[in-house]
Structures are given as structure tokens and as C-alpha cells.
Amino acid sequence: MLTAADGLVTVVGGKLTTYRRMAADAVDAALAASGIAAGPSRTRAVPLVGAAPRTTLDSLEAPHRLVARYGTEALRLAAMAELDPSLAAIVGCGVTAAEVVWAVRHEGALDAADVLDRRTRIGLVADDRATAEPAVTDLVALALDGVRP
């Protein structure tokens, strides 16, 4: 993390597994640079969306793969595929169309590359990416329809 003379805080590097810590550190640096007083960060006490005790997760009536990835939100993904069976289709590497729509509507993905590379990791293998990209591109466009201003 770098803080410029004008107070601009730039975060570089790091891993996805440490993003919450990096965000808290960036906010602390920005507050220090600006001189604005604030209370302590609550980040450590705020659970991630979908987080629940193992006993709760084990009792969910949703595919294990979805529970492992989305926690309690797996129920909502499974319901999407039940309400619209086309969303149960596999786009690649076991990832369903519902997960692509979810990435756009609930995780902020804005394009196929984001879904392929960061949300699902399908893009890590070139052949998998090539196979999934047309369907993911179409699904992202459909999911964004009506969302963009």
C-alpha cells in the first residue's frame, strides 16, 4: 500500500484471501492521511455474505458444490435454477448459468472476463475458457439488461 503526498492511497498486490484486511488497512491509511477521526473498523466482526456455522451449512438442501462456494446463498442459486430450468445448464467446469447471472446481479461482475477469470475461475484453462466464453458472454448481457442506466 502506498500513500502519496496528496493523501491518495493505492493498494497493490495482495491475495483475494486477504482483501478484507487490505481494505481495512487502506481505510486506516486514508483516514490518517486526511486527518479525519473515526472509530475502529468493524470488518473483523462482520461475517461474509452466506457465512454460517458448519452445522447450518450441512443442513442446507442445496447441492454441496454450491454450499461450499456460496454458503447459505446456495439456496437462492438453487431456487433460480428451479424457477428457470435454463439456468441449470452447465456453462463450463461444472459452473451453472445461474452462477453467471448471480455473479452479475449479486457480485458486481460487468463482463464475461470478470465472470470467467475472477468469479468462477473457468478462464484459468484456455480450452475451458474458449468453451464457456460464448455462453457466459450471452448470459452476462442478459443479466445486465435492465440493470445498466
Rounded to 5 degrees, what are φ and ψ at 22? -65, -40
Domain 54-144 classification at class level: mainly alpha
Domain boundaries along the sequence of the chain: 2-45, 54-144
Which amino acid is located at 47 in the chain? P
Query: By the 8 A CB rule, do 62 and 52 touch?
Result: no
d(CA 65, CA 107): 18
Say if residues 148 and 141 touch (Cβ distance below 8 Å): no
Q: 84 near 69, Cβ under 8 Å?
A: no
- pLDDT 10s digits, 101-149: 999 999 999 999 999 999 999 999 999 999 999 999 999 999 999 665 5
Residue from 105, 100, 101, 102 nearest 117 by CA: 100
Q: Which residue has the higher pLDDT, 17 or 101?
A: 101
* pLDDT tens readout for residues 19-72: 788 888 888 888 888 889 898 888 878 888 999 999 999 999 999 999 999 999
What digits encode the pLDDT tens for the residues 57-108?
999 999 999 999 999 999 999 999 999 999 999 999 999 999 999 999 999 9
User: What is the rounded distance in angstroms from the CA atom of residue 130 to the CA atom of residue 88?
Assistant: 20
